[in-house]
Structure 1
Amino acid sequence: MEHTSNTDLRAAADEVLARLVGDDTGTARLRDDQWRAIEALVAEKRRALVVQRTGWGKSAVYFVATALLRAQGSGPTVIVSPLLALMRNQVEAAARAGVRARTINSSNSEEWDAIRAEIEAGDVDVLLVSPERLNNPDFRDQVLPRLAAATGLLVVDEAHCISDWGHDFRPDYRRLRTMLSDLPEGVPVLATTATANARVTADVAEQLGTGGSSDALVLRGPLDRESLSLSVLRLPDAAHRMAWLADHLDQLPGSGIIYTLTVAVAEEVTAFLRRRGHVVASYTGRTENADRQQAEEDLLANKVKALVATSALGMGFDKPDLGFVVHLGSPSSPISYYQQVGRAGRGVRHAEVLLLPGKEDEAIWEYFASLAFPPEETVRRTLDVLARSERPLSLPALEPLVELRRSRLETMLKVLDVDGAVKRVKGGWIATGRPWSYDAERYAWVARQRAAEQQAMRDYVSTTDCRMEFLQRQLDDEGAKPCGRCDNCAGARYTADASAVALDAARADLGRAGVEVEPRRMWPTGLLAIGVDLKGRIPAGEQAAQGRALGRLSDIGWGNRLRPLFAPQAPDGPVPDDVARAAVGVLADWAKGPGGWAAGVDDAQPRPVGVVTVASRTRPQLVRSLGAHIAETGRLPLLGTVESTGEQHQLLRSNSAQRLKALAGALTVPPELAEALARAGGPVLLVDDYTETGWTLAVAARLLRHAGAQGVLPLVLAVQG
C-alpha cells in the first residue's frame, strides 16, 4: 500500500519533538525513519515492530505518537517495560513534552490506587507498567481489561524479552498476548528493541500478531554505532584487571559504567576503586531502591566517575553523554554484550568500550546456565501437588513440597501459566487441569543456543577482525562491515600496563581473606507440611553464631583460588597449604575483631574450647584435614565430627524446606562427641568445606547446642554466591 505523508500531522509531530528535547528554536525534526513509524501508528493505526540500535530515538516515537493520538481523542498509551530506571527517566521526559506519564511497578505500590483514579479520570496520557504487573491477579482481572478497552496505543519496550529464543526471555511478557487479543479494532501497537537477531525478530513479530499480517510494518535499521570504539584487553589475572582500572579510569572519557558478572565482584571492585581515590558507586540486585535512585542521579549529574554495576542496572539507563562502558568479565552472549555497551556514546561523538575478560567467566556462565527450565519430572511433580491441593498454594506454601528454590519455582510457574497449565489467583497458584506437554526439543534447542552464544563470546575476544562487524553479524545485520574504529581496525589505544603500586594494592585486596557468614535465624515456612516439626524463629540457644569463610566462590579474589577445589570433577584431598594458612589467618582476624575472643576486645565471647568438623560425602579428606590443621595451629582439641547417616540424598539446587527435610534425619552427634562436648564446657569451632544456604550449619549447630556446646562458631572455606 502506498502511503502519503500528512503535512499537518508531520508539522505537529515536529512541534511535540521540539518540546520533548527542549528545543526552543523550533528546528528539531524527526528523522524520516522515525516519522515513518509515527505515521504508521497515528495515521494508519497499524502495528509496527521497530528493531533499531540504542540511541535511535524509539522513546521519541512513542511519546510523539501519544501526543498526536491524544489530540485526536484516543485513550492513554500503555507502555510495558522492565526497565525501572528508564521509567523514571521517561516520566520526566514526557512532562517536558506536555505528556502526563505515570508508572505502576514494584517500587511504588503505595501510589497504585491514586494512579488508577487518575487513569479513570482521564488525567494520564501514558502509563508505564512493568511486565510483572500483567499477571498480578488484581491488575490482570480488574485493571487490565478496562485498560485494554480504553488504550489508545500499546507499546512493548524491550520486546526481545518475549522470545525464549533470545538472551533475556521473561515469561511475564507472554501475558501481552491476552492484552493484544482484548484490544479494540484499530488500536495501534508499537514493539521496540535494540537487540534482536533475525530469528528473535520473526518470533516477536509472530507473537505480537505483526508477522502474519499484510498490514504490519517491520522497521529494522543498521546496528553500527559510529561513536563506539570497541577494544579487548586480555590481562594476566584479576589483580592486573583491577590495577588497570585503578590506573586508567580517569583517562576514560566522561563518566560511565563498569559492568561485573556478580554482585560480589561489583562490591569488591567498588571498595577497591574507592580506596584508590576514585569516586564510584555500586549498583546491584542487593542495592536498596533509594540507593539505586541516588546512584542513577549521581551518574546523570557526573558526580561519580562510574557506576560499578551488575545486569541489575538493566538497559534502561538513559544518559546520552555516557563516555565509556567497561566489562570486568565477559557476558555469556554477544547480543547481551551489544545491548549493554549500547548505553554509551548516544549523545557524544566518541565513547570507549572495553572488555577485560577473566578466567572465572566460564564458571559463572555455567552457574547461571544451571538455573534453566527444570526437568520434566520436577515440573510434573509441581503440577501434581497443585492438582491435589484443595486451595490455591502460595510460593512459600508450595516451595516445601517441590525441590525448587523460590525464584526458579516462580519462573517455572509463569511459563506454565502462559502455557495454560496453571493460573495465578488470589492466594496463590492453582492447576487448571488442561493438558500440558514438556517441550524437551525446544528447551534443548535453547540450551544449544546458549552454548553457541558462549562460543561466540570466546570468538569475540580472540578475533582479529572488526569487533563491531562481529557483533552486527551476531544480530544478523545485513549492513555489517568493518567499523574502522575498534582496536583491530585502528590499532590498540590502551596498553596492558599497570603500575606496581596499583598491582600491589589489588593483590593485597584480593588476597585479603575473610567473609562474614550470617547464621540462619528463622526456619522456612511449610516444614510441618512435609513432616518436619520446626517453625518460626530459631531459639537463641539453638542458633549458630556469626561465622567466617575464606572467600566467596563468585568473587575474583579467593574465589578464583577456591573454585577449582569445589569443581564437580575435582579430586578429594588434604587442604592445600596456602588455603590452610589463609584459613588460620581468617580465624586470627576473627578472634581479634569485634565479638572475637582475643584478650582486651570489647564484647569478647568465650574462647573456643575445641574443633568439630562436619562429615562430607564428597570431600571428607579436605574437611578432616582442615579441622585437624585448625586444631593443631590453635592448640585446641579436635573433639569429633557431626556424622552423616548416609540417608541424605543429593539435593543440588533445591529449596530451603527440602534441604531441611533431608538434613533433619541425616546429621547426628555421635555419643563420643556429646561426651567430649560435655567435658569441654564451652563454645566450639564448627568446620565445614563450604556453605550455600546455611542450613547444614544451622542444623549442625542446633544438634551441637542440644548436645551441650555453649556456642557454635562456623568456619568454612567458601560461601556460594
Structure 2
Amino acid sequence: MTNAERAALRGSADSVLARLVGDITGTAQLREDQWLAIEALVADKRRALVVQRTGWGKSAVYFVATSLLRERGAGPTVIVSPLLALMRNQVEAAARAGIKARTINSSNTEDWETIQDEVIGGEVDVLLVSPERLNNPDFRDQVLPRLAAATGLLVVDEAHCISDWGHDFRPDYRRLRTMLAELPAGVPVLATTATANARVTADVAEQLGTGAGTDALVLRGPLDRESLSLHVLRLSDAAHRLAWLADHLTELPGSGIIYTLTVAAAEEVTAYLRQCGHTVSSYTGRTENAERQQAEDDLLANRVKALVATSALGMGFDKPDLGFVVHLGSPSSPIAYYQQVGRAGRGVEHAEVLLLPGREDEAIWQYFASVAFPPEEMVRRTLDVLAQAGRPLSLPALEPLVELRRTRLETMLKVLDVDGAVRRVKGGWTSTGTPWVYDAERYAWVARQRAAEQQSMRDYATTTECRMEFLRLQLDDEQATPCGRCDNCAGARFDDKVSATALDTARGELGRPGVDVEPRKMWPTGLAAVGVDLKGRIATGEQSFGGRALGRLSDIGWGNRLRPMLGPGAPDGPVPDDVMEAVVSVLADWAKRPGGWASGAPDAPDRPAGVVTVASMGRPALVGSLGARISEIGRMPLLGSVAYVPEADGTRVSRTNSAQRVRALHETLTVPPALAEALASAGGPVLLVDDLSDTGWTLAVATRLLRRAGAVGVFPLVLAVQT
C-alpha cells in the first residue's frame, strides 16, 4: 500500500471513529498507537497485541478496523469476549458506528441458529462469542471451521485470560490455538488487554502466535490513569468499614461500584446500606441474568448510587463517568485490583478509588487458592476412568468416580482438553490416549506467583510510597512515576471517623445471627456407579425441615467470629458463651418464623422433643457442648448422637464431591440402638445439631437415618454454612 493510500485509509479511519463516539463535527482523531494497530491490521494484515490501560480505546481499534475491512470485502470480525456485560456494551457501541453486531452466549440460546445463518449469509459484521463456546462440540465441529474460513478479523478481548500466569486464567481461551491454526493466511488477529505484566504479555503473545519470530506488532503503553486518586483506609473491624460507607457514600462523586470478595458480603453490605437509606443494588454470580441487566442499566443511568458487586462485575463493564470504586476487602492480586479500579474515571477528570482491607481477606484468599489445579494422582485417576469407560462420560457421570468437585473437575478437563489428553464430544468427555505430562514445575511456579501477588497486596495497603506507581510497577510499567494524586502523594482526603449511629446500626446488622439452611431434596447423580442405591428425589418422609445456621463463613459479620473456630487446624473446645447466646437467639427467632414450631400456623410442626448431635471427628468437644447446652437451655432431652461405625474411626469423610461424600457418609454414619430407642419414645421432631455444613450432605444423610429410625421430623441447626 502506497503512502497516499495509507493517508486515505487514515482519513477513513478517523471518520469511522467520529461515528463511533458520536462526534457530529467529524473532528475526532485516533491516538497514534490506535492508528498503528489499525494500520497493521487493515493495511498489512498483521497480528497485533495491544496492552493499554482501561479507557484507552482498545474497542475503537477493532470496530474501526472492522468497518474498514468490511468496506474492502473482508468477512465478519469474530470477537472472543469473556463477559455478558462486555458483549452488551460492544453491541451497542458497534451500532453507533453503523456496524451490525450479534452475540452467541448462554443468555440467547434460542437465537443461535438464526444468528449463525445471518453470519454465513454475510448479514453480520461482528460476531461476539464467549470462550466457552469455542469448545462446545456442535459449535467447534460445525460452526467454528466455517467461521475460521470466512473471518476477516479475529479479536481476542481481555487476552490476559489466556495466560495461566495471569490473574484470571480461563482454559477455554486456549482453544483459540485451534482457530488460529485454521485461519487462512493473511487474516489479521488482534489481542487486547489492560492488565498484563511483562510475563503475561510474553505468554499471551506466544500462545497467540504473535511472539518472537513472527511479523507481529506489540503495542504496550503507560498504565497511569490520570483521573484516579487512590486511597487506603485501615479501619478496625467490619462494623467500622460498613459505618464508614454509610456516612461517606454520598460524598463520593457520581455513582460507582463497591466491590466485595464474596457473595455473602455483597448481600450483607447491600442490606445494610439500604437500611441506612442509600440506593444500592447487589450484583453477584448468583444474580439472575435479567436482574444483572437491570442492575447494569440502573448504574449506567445513575438510578443507583452504587452496585455492591463481586468480581462478577469486572471486565468489560463500560460506564465512562463512573465516579468511584471502593473495595470492601482486598483482592489477592495487584493486577486484578488494577483491572477493577480501572472501571472508574474513564470519561471524567476525577474519580475516587478506596481500599478498605479486612481481617477476613486472607482466609478468603486461602479458600480460592485451595481450588487450584489438582495434584497429579487425581488427574491420572480421571484419565484412567475415561480410558476404561469406552464411551463418553458426562460430568455428572464422571464426578462420582473421581475425588473432585464438579467445578474443579470441569476446569481440569478443559486444561487436559487444551493439552490434547481428553476431548469434549457429544455426551461428555473421552480420552484421546495421547500421552500427557504433569507439569509440576509450572503449577508450583504459578502457586508461588499467587503467594507473591498476595504479599504485594499486603505491601500496597501499607506502603508509604506512591500507590499508583506501586501498581504500575507491579504491571512492569517502565514509565511509572509518582502520581501526585494518591493519599501518600497528596495527603489523605478521607479520615477514619464514623458516626455513632452508623456504627451502632452496622453492629446490629452484622451481629444479627441466623441464616437459612435449605435442605437437600435430590440425591446426586451417579450414586449407582459407586454402589449406593439412591437416586432422584429424596423421599418426603426422609427430608428435614428447613434448617438454620448462626452465620456463613464467607460473610463479614458472624463469619469473622466463626472462621477461627471452624477453620482448618482450629483447636477444639466447648462452645464459647457469646456464640451460645447467639444460638439461643437463632432458636427463639426460628420458633416464631413461618414454618417454625411456635409460629401459631395451623400446619406448624410440633416443638422439638429432643436434641441429637452429629458425632464429630475433628471437633467433638465443640459439637458435644453445643448439643448439651441447647438441651439444658431448651429443656429438651439430649437423645444421643448419629455416630460413625467403628471401622470409620479416625478416617476422613470425603469432601471432594457430592457423590463421593454421600457414598462415604452412607457407609459410615449410623443410628446407634440407644438413639433409635430414644427416638421411638420422644414423641416429636428432633433438633439435629452440627458445627458446619459445607455441602449439606451430612445433614441429609443423618436426617434420612433418623427418619428411618423413627424420628417424627428433623430440624437441622449448625453454627455455620460454608457459603
1:377–1:482 CA distance, 2 compared to 1 (3 A) = same
1:315 Cα offset (Å): 1.4
Rounded Cα–Cα distance in structure 2 between residues aligned with 1:579 and 1:462: 33
1:516-563, Cα deviation, whole Å (9 max, x unpaired): 000000000100011000000001100011000000000000000000
1:653 Cα offset (Å): 4.1
1:600 Cα offset (Å): 3.1
1:568 Cα offset (Å): 1.7
1:3–1:425 CA distance, 2 compared to 1 (3 A) = farther
Paired amino acid for 1:692: D
Rounded Cα–Cα distance in structure 2 between residues aligned with 1:310 and 1:356: 15
Rounded Cα–Cα distance in structure 2 between residues aligned with 1:167 and 1:584: 43
Rounded Cα–Cα distance in structure 2 between residues aligned with 1:54 and 1:499: 36
1:456–1:3 CA distance, 2 compared to 1 (3 A) = farther
Alignment length, in residue pairs? 721
SS in 2 for 1:709: coil
1:467 Cα offset (Å): 0.1
Rounded Cα–Cα distance in structure 2 between residues aligned with 1:570 and 1:184: 59
1:366–1:646 CA distance, 2 compared to 1 (3 A) = farther
Rounded Cα–Cα distance in structure 2 between residues aligned with 1:602 and 1:674: 29
Alignment of 1:254-333 (within 5 A): 254-333=254-333
1:595/1:602 contact within 8 Å kept: no
Paired amino acid for 2:533: D
Rounded Cα–Cα distance in structure 2 between residues aligned with 1:652 and 1:301: 48
Paired amino acid for 1:216: A
Structure 1 residue 506 and structure 2 residue 506: aligned? yes
Structure 1 residue 612 and structure 2 residue 612: aligned? yes
Rounded Cα–Cα distance in structure 2 between residues aligned with 1:119 and 1:87: 17
1:597–1:73 CA distance, 2 compared to 1 (3 A) = same
Rounded Cα–Cα distance in structure 2 between residues aligned with 1:523 and 1:651: 18
Paired amino acid for 2:432: T
Paired residue for 2:595?
595
Rounded Cα–Cα distance in structure 2 between residues aligned with 1:657 and 1:586: 31
| Larger displacement relative to structure 2 (459-468 or 5-14) | 5-14
SS in 1 for 2:308: strand
1:323 Cα offset (Å): 0.3
Rounded Cα–Cα distance in structure 1 between residues aligned with 2:336 and 2:165: 13
1:646–1:112 CA distance, 2 compared to 1 (3 A) = farther
Paired amino acid for 1:605: P
Paired residue for 1:693?
695
Paired residue for 1:84?
84
1:579-602, Cα deviation, whole Å (9 max, x unpaired): 111111100100011111116345
1:106 Cα offset (Å): 1.1
Rounded Cα–Cα distance in structure 2 between residues aligned with 1:214 and 1:391: 41
Rounded Cα–Cα distance in structure 2 between residues aligned with 1:331 and 1:12: 43
Paired amino acid for 1:688: D
1:14-61, Cα deviation, whole Å (9 max, x unpaired): 111111111111111111111111001000110000000000000000
1:594/1:603 contact within 8 Å kept: no
1:592/1:601 contact within 8 Å kept: no
SS in 2 for 1:696: helix
Give the gaps of 5 or more residues in structure 2. none
Rounded Cα–Cα distance in structure 2 between residues aligned with 1:602 and 1:20: 64
Structure 1 residue 659 and structure 2 residue 637: aligned? no
Paired residue for 1:704?
706
SS in 1 for 2:312: helix
1:646 Cα offset (Å): 4.8
Paired amino acid for 2:318: D
Task: Give the RMSD, CA atoms, in angstroms.
Answer: 1.2
Rounded Cα–Cα distance in structure 1 between residues aligned with 2:590 and 2:602: 13
> What is the percent sequence identity of the aligned residues?
80
Paired amino acid for 1:76: P
Rounded Cα–Cα distance in structure 1 between residues aligned with 2:654 and 2:318: 40
Rounded Cα–Cα distance in structure 1 between residues aligned with 2:239 and 2:223: 35
1:213 Cα offset (Å): 3.3
1:719 Cα offset (Å): 0.3
1:123–1:189 CA distance, 2 compared to 1 (3 A) = same
Rounded Cα–Cα distance in structure 1 between residues aligned with 2:671 and 2:5: 82
Q: 1:684 aligns with which of 686, 689, 692?
A: 686
What TM-score comes out, normalization by structure 1 length? 0.99
1:107 Cα offset (Å): 1.1
1:602–1:55 CA distance, 2 compared to 1 (3 A) = farther
What TM-score comes out, normalization by structure 2 length? 0.99
1:603 Cα offset (Å): 3.8
Rounded Cα–Cα distance in structure 2 between residues aligned with 1:318 and 1:213: 36
1:3–1:247 CA distance, 2 compared to 1 (3 A) = farther
SS in 2 for 1:143: helix
Rounded Cα–Cα distance in structure 2 between residues aligned with 1:450 and 1:327: 20
| Larger displacement relative to structure 2 (195-204 or 2-11) | 2-11
Paired amino acid for 1:101: A
1:2 Cα offset (Å): 12
Rounded Cα–Cα distance in structure 2 between residues aligned with 1:308 and 1:448: 31
1:681/1:710 contact within 8 Å kept: yes
Paired amino acid for 2:307: L
SS in 1 for 2:186: coil
1:567 Cα offset (Å): 2.1
Paired amino acid for 2:672: P
Give the gaps of 5 or more residues in structure 1. none
Paired amino acid for 2:682: A
Alignment of 1:293-692 (within 5 A): 293-598=293-598, 600-601=600-601, 603-648=603-648, 649-651=651-653, 653-692=655-694
SS in 1 for 2:720: strand
